[in-house]
Every structure is written in C-alpha cells, then in structure tokens.
Structure 1
Amino acid sequence: MKTSVVVVAALAAVLFLAQSYASLAGASGPRVIIVGAGMSGISAGKTLWEAGVRDLLILEATGRVGGRMHKHNFGGINVEIGANWVEGLGGDQLNPIWPLVNSTLKLRNFYSDFDSVVGNVYKENGGGLYDEEYVQKRMDRAYEVEELGANLTKKMHPSGRDDISVLAMQRLFNHQPNGPTTPVDMALDYFIYDYEFAEPPRVTSLQNTQPTPTNADFGEDNYFVADQRGYESIIHSIGSSYLSTDGNGKLKDRRILLNKVVRQIAYNKQGVVVKTEDGSSYRADYVVVSTSLGVLQTDLIQFKPQLPFWKIAAIYSFDMGVYTKIFLKFPERFWPVGEGKQFFMYASSRRGYYALWQSFEREYPGANVLLATVTDDESRRIERQSDDQTKAEVAEVLRDMFPGADVPGPDQIDIYVPRWWSDRFFKGSYSNWPVGVSRYEYDQLRAPVGRVYFTGEHTSERYNGYVHGAYLAGIDSANILINYIFKNEEYKVRGKYDVEDDLIAQAR
C-alpha cells in the first residue's frame, strides 16, 4: 500500500512538471516571458512574434509602457524626462528610429544646433559672456584632440586590450595633461563628453566612444522630439504589430501585465518560473530580461540558482550613468531667444555645476520653460536634496548669468526633477562603456544563462545608451533565442583575444 502511494505521488509529480512546461510541445510554440515593457522588451517581443513564437507574456514593474522613454506633463506641456533625441542622422546609413518618428508617426521634432553653444558661454560671478572667438579656439583644440583620439583607436587591437580612458588620451596629446582646469575648458570638456556619455572622460573608454559608432554609422545630426503624444509613442507603434491598442494607439493588451514587479527568476533545464512582488508566479519555457543595467546591478531580482560568476562579473564591469534633466518654469522669459540661442552654458569653476542649458521657446512657444542638465555626481547630489534647495541654486546661477535681468526668486519657480538613480526600477539613465572592458565582456553581458536571456540598450555593443541601441538590442537578443528554439544554435561568446575574430572585425 505504501509503495502504491509513493508511485502515485511520483506519477503526479511527473504529470505536474509535464503540464508546467507543456508549452514546449504546444501548437503555439514555446512560451516566453519578457520582463520589462520598454523599447527593448517590446522590440524583442515583436521579433519573436514575427518568427512564430506567439505565446508571449510581458511583465512590467511600473504602471505604464515605455521604460526610460517617458513623457511628463509639466506646466501644461508634455516634456520628455528620459530619452529625447533621435541621435545620429545625416550619414550614409539611416537610423532605424528616424522613419518611425518622422514618417510613420510624424512626431514634432527640431534640429539641435549644438555648434552655436560657443557663442553662449557665460562667466560665473556675473561676468557676462565669454568672447566667442576665444571659446571657439578652445573648442577647436578640444575637437582636434578628439580627432587624434579617434585616429589612435584605429591602431588599437580590435579586442580592446589596448584601450585607455578619454582623459589618458588627452594627456597623451598634451591637451590639459592634468585635466581641464579653467572654467571654459571644463565647460567645453563637459559639453563634449559628459553631456553625451553621462560620465567624465577619466572613466570613459576611448576605443569604444571615439569615434562614437552612432555618429560614424548614422551621421552627426541630432533632432529633438517635442510632441505632445510623447517620444514613447514609437514603442506603442512598434508593439501595435502584435499587441492590441486602445483608441489612442496606446498598447493595452491582456498579455501586458502592469505593476508586476519581478523579484525572482528560477530556472533549470526544463523552463523558468518568474515570481512577482504580489505573490504571483508565472511559468514559461524561456524568459527575456530587459531591465536596465542599473537594476541588474541591484538585488531587486534574485536568480535561482545564482547567475554564474562570469555573468555577474560582466554585469558589474559596466557603468550605469545618471543624466538628469531639470525642468524649470518661470512667470516670464528673461533669457535671450532666437537664432543661435537654443543652448547655452554656465562656465563654473565647479565642473558640471548646472553647466548645460536649453531654451524651449522654439519647441514650446510661450511656455517660459528652461531645461538644465546635470550628470553623474551632480545628478546624485541633486536627487538627494529637496527641490526647494535645487530651485535656490538655480536662481543663483541664473542671476550670475543674467545679472541685469529680473530673475524671479525660488518661490516663483516651478520645478520638476526626474530621479532615475533613486528609482528602484531603473537605477540610472543609460549605460556607459568604461575603460577596461571590451567586446568580450559585451558578449558575456548579452549571453544567455540557460533559459534566461538578456536584452536592453546595455547589450548593444555599438549603440549602448541610445534609443536605436535599445531597439536593435531587442531584435538581436530575440534572434539569439529564435536561433536556439528553431535551429538549436547556442550563443557562443568569442574569445577575449581571438585573433581570427579580430581580423574579421578589422576587415569589416
């Protein structure tokens, strides 16, 4: 009798496991859970769907689709608190995001005249504008050194073993050997590097940012998206090919579950079990994790068993930058506007202290809104302090720049400060490629672990940190899974100094 009970129990357990992972043999193909409904997650889902993988479930931690593409109503207008530009236009290749923005959805967008910033560099302590000719000479020298750095990378081993930091390159060419020290040089250096990569030259890889692959492939023009539908509309448009939408074209599908905070991913050779903070469990054959690099570097999601050391080491080898857009609304406009006045800088003796400013007069006429951008340590500092303190600092800086203007007091300023670094669902703005890591670590970063697959802008070797990088990463990661499902092809990490692979890369 005891033996019969044991046999029945064993059969029941086998039946339970078979039912749990029955989708492998189901007519609809394997079941895939996608963690995150941002650009990469939605892009990966579309690629899987088009390949015939139709049993999809998307678990999103927040209450919205879009991830780090997020519009926010501020002062009666929708502004982009995350991604804002289509970066990389005017080159031989077409940025894949541009047709969606400019043709499919026809989102309002504006050319960003960054070159004009040299005529709008303000001294601290109420000294007015720096002489434009002087600033231009300093900028020309900075760009000359940047070009020397780009040429240097062509001589480096493709594996990245010879890589140095951008600051080391500047020292090599005797350009500010101890780093930029004058307010103007610090401001221009910040504009060229920190404003782009969200981290300073001392930590940023030379070989993998000079030239920036986005500019090399797609061109150097940038267009600022300022549409009340939001830049995130392109994610809804991409997803609409396989997911249902509401009357406004926004994704609203039973296969997208919002406010589902994934806390654990258990995996073995048979499949995966994803557990959420509300106590729910979801079983599937595979899972695609599209959370940010910042989230992967925290303990928000526990993997059972723990990810192997090589994977953890790759995750922690990369940086999650913090790029903060501070939105400020005033009762009246007191700053100059017009041709060549879109961007201006504050050359503080404290690097990165409210350095970059943008007027919204062209994009949102009459809104009286300014955008101040800070990054890295300044971002973290400002996230930790109160908005009242930030308004007081902003008012003081603006009085420095415009001493003769009627700059309102902090109590008359409306402010919105996104806090990407403090948000446990993001923990930063976008990834940066630091010195010391190479395409080998990138291979490891996007490599699957068993039935757990990874995607996100941080897994895009050429375009990390960009919207098009997130979009293409979703496609690439989905194809890695598709090749395994239909061709039984396992993803292989190239050798760190694989000469054959490197010669092929050089030939391309």
Structure 2
Amino acid sequence: MVVKKPRIVIVGAGIAGLTAANKLYKSLVVKGGFELYVIEGGNRIGGRINTSEFGGDRIEMGATWIHGIGGSPVYKIAQESSSMESDEPWECMDGFLDDPITIAENGYVLSPSLVDSVSNVFKNLMDFAQGKRKSFGVGIGKGNGSVGSFLRKGLEYYWEMESRKEKEEVNGNWNRKLLEEAIFAMQENTQRTYTSANDLYNLDYKAESEYVMCPGEEITIAKGYSRVIESLASILPCGVIQLGKKVCKIEWQHESEVVTQQNGHDDTRPVKLHFLDGTTLSADHVIVTVSLGVLKAGIRDSDDKGMLKFYPPLPDHKIEAISRLGYGVVNKLFMQLSPDFSDFHQFPFLQLVFHQSDSGVKNPKIPWWIRRTASVSPIYKNSRVLSSWFAGEEALKLETLSDQVILDEVSTTLSTFLSSSPDSHEPQCNGNVIKNSSKLNLVKVLKTKWGSDPLFLGSYSYVAVGSSICDMDTLAEPLTKSGSHPLQILFAGEATHRTHYSTTHGAYFSGIREANRLLAHYQCMD
C-alpha cells in the first residue's frame, strides 16, 4: 500500500494565504512528506494588495498604509526586503497630508481654527469610543448601539455646551451651526473609509474599544505594498502557486462519508475542490482565505455557479456569524491633471465640506456620489496625480460611471471649490486657493472596482450592529476538529482576526495562526 503525502491546499494568494504558505513551506514541505498548493482565482498574487502605476507615479489600488510600525510584521517584511526606500516618488511619501486646506461648498475657505475646533470634538469622541480617553462629558455617557448615534449625540452635547446659535450667519447660505455640522460630517466620511461601513449607524459601538491599534507611525511603502507579497511568495517553488483557478465548490466530509469512500475509491483524501473550469483537486486540509464578501455571497440563496459553495453547507453557527458581520466597499479614484495646468505644484490637500440639508442651498452642479467624499489631494507634493476615497453607495456608484462622466463631474465640482467668493470674510479667508483655478482640467482617471470584482465583492470587514467580535472567532473556527480526518477546512483572512480585522497585518496574523494549527497537528511547531 502506497502511503500518500498529506496535501495542504490554500485557497487565495493574498497576504493571509501566502503567509500561511510561507510558514508551512519552511516548516513542513522542505523537510519532505507534504504537498502544498496555493490556488488563486485571479491572474495575479496579492489579493487586496495591488501596487500599480498611473500618470507616471506609483500608486496603491488596494492596501495603502502600514497601520503602526510598532510590532507590525508587514513593516518588518518591508524592511527586510529593502522596500522602505526608493529613488522614485510614491503615494503619501512626504507627510503632505498633515497640512490641509478646508473649503466649504461654493468656495468658502475655512479658517483652521474653526475646522480644528470641530475636528477635535470628533477626534475626542472617537478616542473615547475606542477607550483611549476616559471621559468626554457628563452629558454623553457610553454608546449602547452604533458609532454613528454616539457621534451625533456628542455633537449635540458640544453645541449645548457652546450655546450654539443656529442663525449666527457666517457667509452667504452658511450659518455657523450648519458649517460645524458639515465639518463634522466630513470627519464622519473619513471614518467611513477607515472602517468600510456605508453608514456609521451600522458600525457597532462596543467593538470600537476591542479593536487594537499597532503603536507607532503610520506610513506607506516606498517600493509598493506588492513588494511584501513578492517577498512572502519568493521562497515557494514554481508550481506551488496556481493562478486562474477559481474554486466554486468545496466538498468536505463527515467521518462516515470518509469510510464509505475508502471502501470504494483509491483517493481517500477527505476534501475535494471543484474549479470553475471543471477540474478538481483533493486535499487533506484546505485553508480558505477568501474575503468575507465572497463567503457572504456563497451562503445566499443563489444559483450562481461562480460563487463559492460548501457541501455539506457550513454549520448554522458559522453561517449566522458570516451573515451578521459587516463588510463594505471602499474605492480609490486617481485623477491626472492636464499638462496645461501650470500651477499643479500649488495644488493643496483639499478637505471638502458639503451642505448637509436638503433645503435647496446645495450646488446642483455637484453630483450626489461626490458629496460624501472627504478630500482630494495630490498623492504627494508636486504630483500631477490626485486621489480621493469613496465608501459605501458612493463607492459602488463610482464603479458604474464612465471615465468621461467622472472627468466632467469631478472637474466641475473642484472648480466650484477652488473659486472663492470675493466677499468671503472671517472665519474664511479671501482669494482663490490656487492661481488659474478656472482652468483646472483633468485628463485621465483610474478607479478601483473592489465591489464588483467577483474575487472580493468589497474591501474589508467591520463589526456591524447586531454582530460582535465573537462572530470573528466563530468564522475562524476550523471544520472537523477531531476524528481520523481532522482540520479539513480552516479559515484565515482579515475578517477572522478579532483585534486586527480590516488590516493587512491582521490577515498576516491569521495566516500564521492557521499554519501553526496544522503544524501543531503534525507536531512540527518551531
């Protein structure tokens, strides 16, 4: 009787999958006796990490930041692969975003003191929600439901303490309270891109204090985030990673079914992967690293043969956890300034403040999908490439628009912001933000499409109202923990990490966790 080598198959060549593969290869495969495959449905490795080029500049289509260099495995890999320095400029390389100019709709440039006062209220509220601040005010208390409701309660408390007068006119169709609300909304929209929640009223308040931030500076990677992926994959021999192999069904078997198969077939591996191209691959262990969005789509009642299905279906408690957790869409829009725009080197980091009411004072030239973005800025100082972030419904709308529509509507919107009213007065300042702003012209755009990409169906996870951190623990639990064929299906990915979800380092840690689970099973822990 020929004894077959245990076969481990990893579904997904993102950072979670490649981290697990890297660990397993170094600890198991090189010592002999094991087979390892990384199966990727797309035509590239990296998953939601994708460094690209636009307008002659290096850009990040997906993950952009190392969120805290203290103890970050991503930072360590970037250092070891000599990726932190580059002769070419890169996105957010120079701290340029620390010095914004904030403009209200129709061109009113706001004084930093006004913006800072409201922004500090927002920051203090978030610090309190995240457990970084012990108190905010006796009128606030702790939130019992959503982050959105807590924030709005905090804003009302601020107005009460400041005895805000609603009719205190500032300029034109703005009064001070409307302006402060709009600045606060700008900060909320930034928070939406941080969390991927379409609406902060759907973001669970309690989970904010359970999320763990890595200490230290937040930075971007000079030679691109994809260098981290390339480093992880570099030790894997040719043939381990297989591209263009999308899994549509995973059969995993209970103990009785395995015995039946042993009596009638040569292949006794308990798991079988079915691919969209009609081929199959059997395995002893499968680490599933697909996005939460793909898992959500797979458990819906759908006849779409392209969606990932499990047979038998996942246990009810795991399906319920997948259903409850939040998973949103964040897209980036890159725009190139025309070569005729001679003052591109003066283009500032713009924070955009939009009217919140529907009272008819909104500028009709500004489309709804732009109204909840918080900023537009060069990707670094003196770059002709501008970028802006969109979340939720606006991000999904962006995916459907033609490049020409985006060029026209963004150019029009920016023109309304960059031409200040001649009668502006404090707390605004006079004059155009940059010279020749009326000649502003965008010539090319590039947008991400994470929401409609069938391999991701969104960007990253969050704890929604009605779910909890425990749902992420449930998602991380392997299937078949015991028996003669244990650990048939394991789960990794950012949505399976209870304290670092939504991040690349959270995905990394989850890959290490599942690799270690298998190493412990085979008693090969380092």
Identify the residue that residue 277 of structure 2 maps to in structure 1. Answer: 278
Instruction: Tell me which amino acid in the other structure corresponds to 2:509.
Output: L
Distance of aligned partners of 1:342 and 1:473 in 2 relative to their CA distance in 1, 3 Å threshold: farther
CA separation of 1:154 and 1:134: change in aligned 2, threshold 3 A: closer
Superposition deviation, residue 171 in structure 1: 4.5
Q: What is the aligned partner in structure 2 of residue 473 from structure 1?
A: 510
* 1:125 matched residue in structure 2: 106
Give the direction of change, closer, same or farther, for the CA distance of 1:469–1:136 in structure 2 (3 Å limit). same
Q: Tell me how far 1:38 sits from its aligned partner.
A: 0.6
1:99 paired residue among 70, 73, 76: 76
TM-superposition CA deviations, 1:391-417 (whole Å, max 9, x none): 22211111022125345577x520111
Query: Counterpart in 2 of 1:80?
Result: 60
Contact 2:337-2:384 within 8 A present in 1 as well: yes
2:75 counterpart letter in structure 1:
W
Aligned-residue RMSD, C-alpha: 3.0
| Closer/same/farther in 2, CA of residues 315 and 143 from structure 1, 3 Å limit | same
Q: Could you tell me the TM-score, scaled by structure 1's length? A: 0.78
Alpha-carbon distance, 1:172 to partner: 4.8
User: In the superposition, relative to structure 1, how do residues 260 and 79 fare at CA in structure 2: closer, same or farther (>3 Å)?
Assistant: same
- 2:192 alignment partner AA: D
Match among 249, 255, 265 for residue 264 of structure 1: 249
State the distance in 1 between where 2:399 and 2:106 align.
25
- What is the Cα deviation at residue 62 of structure 1? 0.6
Matching residue's letter, 2:334: F
How far the C-alpha of 1:296 sits from its partner, in A, is 0.9
Q: Does 2:467 correspond to 1:448?
A: no
- Name the aligned partner's letter for residue 457 of structure 2: K
Instruction: Report the equivalent of 1:42.
Output: 18
Residues 25-66 of structure 1 deviation map (CA, whole Å, 9 limit, x = unaligned): x3xxx2111011110000011222233254111110111111
Task: Tell whether the 8 Å contact from 1:352 to 1:374 is kept in structure 2 after alignment.
Answer: no
Q: Is the 8 A contact 1:334 1:406 kept in 2?
A: no
Cα distance in structure 2, aligned partners of 1:420 and 1:237: 24
The question of whether the paired residues in 2 share the 8 Å contact of 1:342 and 1:360 is answered with no
Change (3 A) 1:437 1:233: same
1:163-182 pair list within 5 angstroms: 164-173=145-154, 175=156, 182=181
Is 1:224 the counterpart of 2:220? The answer is: yes
1:427 corresponds to 2:457? yes
Deviations 1:122-155 (A, max 9, x none): 111122x111111111111112222332349989
Could you state the TM-score of these two structures normalised by the residue count of structure 2? 0.75
Contact 1:60 1:260 in 2 (8 A): yes
CA shift, 1:422, in A, is 0.5
Alignment CA distance shift 1:292-1:420 (3 Å): same
Which of the residues 449, 460, 464 maps onto 2:497?
460
Corresponding position of 1:396: 412
* Alpha-carbon distance in 2 for matches of 1:441, 1:293: 12
Counterpart CA distance in 2 for 1:467 and 1:77 is 23
Q: Which residue is equivalent to 1:506?
A: none
Q: Alpha carbons of 1:208 and 1:356: their partners in 2 closer, same or farther (altered >3 Å)?
A: same
- Structure 1 position 254 matched with structure 2 position 239: yes
Deviation at 1:114, TM superposition (A): 4.7
Number of residues of Structure 1 aligned to a counterpart in Structure 2: 432
What is aligned with 2:353? 347
Query: 1:449 offset after TM fit, Å?
Result: 1.8
Distance 1:342 1:167 in 2: 30
Secondary structure, aligned partner of 1:297:
helix
Structure 2 distance, partners of 1:423, 1:187, is: 28
Give me the whole-angstrom Cα distance separating, in 2, the residues matched to 1:388 and 1:204: 34
2:513 maps to amino acid: D
- Any residues of structure 2 matched to 1:197-346 within 5 Å, and which? 197-199=195-197, 200-210=199-209, 212-214=211-213, 217-219=214-216, 221-227=217-223, 230-241=224-235, 243-244=236-237, 253-268=238-253, 269=255, 270=258, 271-299=270-298, 300-332=307-339, 333=341, 343-346=349-352
The one-letter amino acid of 2:230's match is H
Partner of 1:371: 387
- Match of 1:182, SS state, is helix
Match of 1:249? none
1:142 aligned residue (122, 129, 144) = 122
Of residues 383-392 and 419-428 in structure 1, the stretch that sits farther from structure 2 once superposed is 383-392
Q: 1:295 to 1:77 in 2, by over 3 A?
A: same
Tell me how far apart the structure 2 counterparts of residues 452 and 440 of structure 1 sit (CA, whole Å). 19
Aligned partners of 2:497 and 2:510 also within 8 Å: yes
Match of 1:329, SS? strand
Question: For structure 1, which runs of at least 5 residues remain unmatched after alignment?
Answer: 1-17, 156-161, 245-252, 489-508
Q: 1:68 to 1:187 in 2, by over 3 A?
A: same
Aligned equivalents of 2:344, 2:212: Cα separation in 1: 35
Question: Partner letter of residue 298 of structure 1?
Answer: A
- Separation of aligned partners in 1, 2:157 and 2:452: 34
Aligned CA distance change for structure 1 residues 324 and 383 (closer, same or farther; 3 Å): same
- How far residue 224 of structure 1 moved from its aligned partner, in angstroms, is 2.3
Identity of counterpart residues, as a percentage? 26
* Cα distance change of structure 1 residues 211 and 121 upon mapping to structure 2, 3 Å threshold: farther
Letter in structure 1 aligned against 2:187 = L
**Equivalent residues in 2 for 1:1-20 (5 A)?**
none
In structure 2, C-alpha distance between the alignment counterparts of 1:184 and 1:334, rounded to whole Å: 30
Q: Give the AA of the match of 1:35.
A: V
Q: Unaligned 5+ residue runs, structure 2?
A: 136-142, 160-176, 259-269, 299-306, 357-369, 420-431, 481-487
Write the distance in 2 (CA, Å) between the matches of 1:173 and 1:78.
40
Contact 1:163 1:436 in 2 (8 A): no
Conserved? CA contact 2:119–2:183, under 8 Å: no
Q: For residue 481 of structure 1, report the CA deviation from its aligned partner.
A: 3.1
